[in-house]
């Protein structure tokens, strides 16, 4: 092979590798493959921290869950949060059971603030990947860089009629600032993800397989 052809082949290989790297770029916030947890509520609130002993599966190494079922649970039906190893995070909600779930990243095992100091440079969105869902879910995300610089975004998540997997994107550009200064995407300290009932029946059942920051289209 001539030197000219060899140089061309190597250049094309490098370009292809660079393209694959750009397409694959993402940061795992949580893939729910560790930190198992199972709790069922009819009324009340439970806050719990679970660690990531392996590393790389929960950003910052700790997932805090704040799981609530309100007192106006008309039929006293339980709503259950399941997190099992290598399975989706599942909410199994009772009929007219007013539930909400916050996932908080940027705390320690005592639930005290522990800044992530996370750079998301190169990403342009958070992507929440669902295994499936049966009803509309009300979602929100809030992020902080520093103590006071926050931004938030909310949306209604409508499942696909087929019951198949789908994802929902929270574009960085759509976050509305709540603090005095813009978010520093190279130094994110806290990430909060909210799921709550999005219909009058409040009987939402769904599974989430992962939350990532990515630049994927």
Residue 79 phi, psi dihedral angles, 5° rounding: -120, 135
In this model, does residue 156 exceed pLDDT 50? yes
Domains in the chain (CATH in brackets) are: 26-214 (2.60.120)
Query: What mean pLDDT, rounded, does the chain reach?
Result: 90
What does the pLDDT look like over 70-126, one tens digit per residue? 999 999 999 999 999 878 999 999 999 999 999 999 999 999 999 999 999 999 999
Confidence of residue 23 (pLDDT cuts 50, 70, 90): low
What does the pLDDT look like over 33-86, one tens digit per residue? 999 999 999 999 999 999 999 999 999 999 999 999 999 999 999 999 999 987
> Could you give the CA distance from residue 23 to residue 65 in angstroms, rounded to a whole number?
31
Q: Phi-psi bin for 77: left (phi > 0), alpha (psi -120 to 50), beta?
A: beta
> Could you give the CA distance from residue 182 to residue 176 in angstroms, rounded to a whole number?
9
Q: Which DSSP category does 158 fall into?
A: P
Give the pLDDT of residue 87.
86
More confident of the two residues 111 and 14: 111
Confidence of residue 178 (pLDDT cuts 50, 70, 90): very high
């Amino acid at each position: 092979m001539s030197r000219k052809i060899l140089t061309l082949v190597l250049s094309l290989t490098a370009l292809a590798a660079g393209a694959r790297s750009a397409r694959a770029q993402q940061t795992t916030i949580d893939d729910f493959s560790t930190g198992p947890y199972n709790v069922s509520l009819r009324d009340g609130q439970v806050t719990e921290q679970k660690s990531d002993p392996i590393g790389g599966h929960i950003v910052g190494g700790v997932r805090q869950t704040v799981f609530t079922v309100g007192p106006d649970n008309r039929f006293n039906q339980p709503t259950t949060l399941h997190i099992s190893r290598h399975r989706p995070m599942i909410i199994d909600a009772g009929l007219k059971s007013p539930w909400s779930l916050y996932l908080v990243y940027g705390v320690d095992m005592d639930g005290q603030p522990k800044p992530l100091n996370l750079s998301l440079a190169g990403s342009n969105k958070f992507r929440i990947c669902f295994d499936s869902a049966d009803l509309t879910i009300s979602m929100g995300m809030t992020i902080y860089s520093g103590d006071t610089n926050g931004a938030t975004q909310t949306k209604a998540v409508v499942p696909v009629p087929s019951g198949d997997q789908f994802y929902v994107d929270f574009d960085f550009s759509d976050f509305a600032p709540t603090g005095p200064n813009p978010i520093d995407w190279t130094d994110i300290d806290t990430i909060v993800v909210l799921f709550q009932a999005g219909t009058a029946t409040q009987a939402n059942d769904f599974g989430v397989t992962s939350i990532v920051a990515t630049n994927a289209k």
